[in-house]
Amino acid sequence: MVVALRRILLLPLDDWVAVTREFVPPEVSRSGLDRCLRRHGVSDLAALMPQEEGAQAAVKPFKDDEPGFVHIDIKY
């Protein structure tokens, strides 16, 4: 029940703990709830948010280099 409602309500963990303690046994701990959400793969809210069609991927600020290269910034 907790996992299904997490996908629908999209509440942050602290708010989700308050809701869970209100309607599920009050001895639920924050860490226990976090472990449950991680186990079921719903702990990351950004991954659960609906994606817009045509949305661009995040721009990476740095270039990915092949392994073995060292990037050095020099300030003159």
Domain spans, the chain: 2-48
Give the tens place of pLDDT for each residue, 49-76. 877 766 666 777 877 777 787 778 888 8
pTM over 0.75? The answer is: no
| Average pLDDT of every residue of the chain | 84
Contact predicate 39/52, CB 8 Å? no
pLDDT at residue number 55: 61
pLDDT at residue number 54: 64
Residue keyed to tokens 């860490």: 31
How big is the chain, counted in residues?
76
Cβ neighbours for 13, distance < 8 A, ≥ 6 positions apart: 30, 33, 34, 37, 43
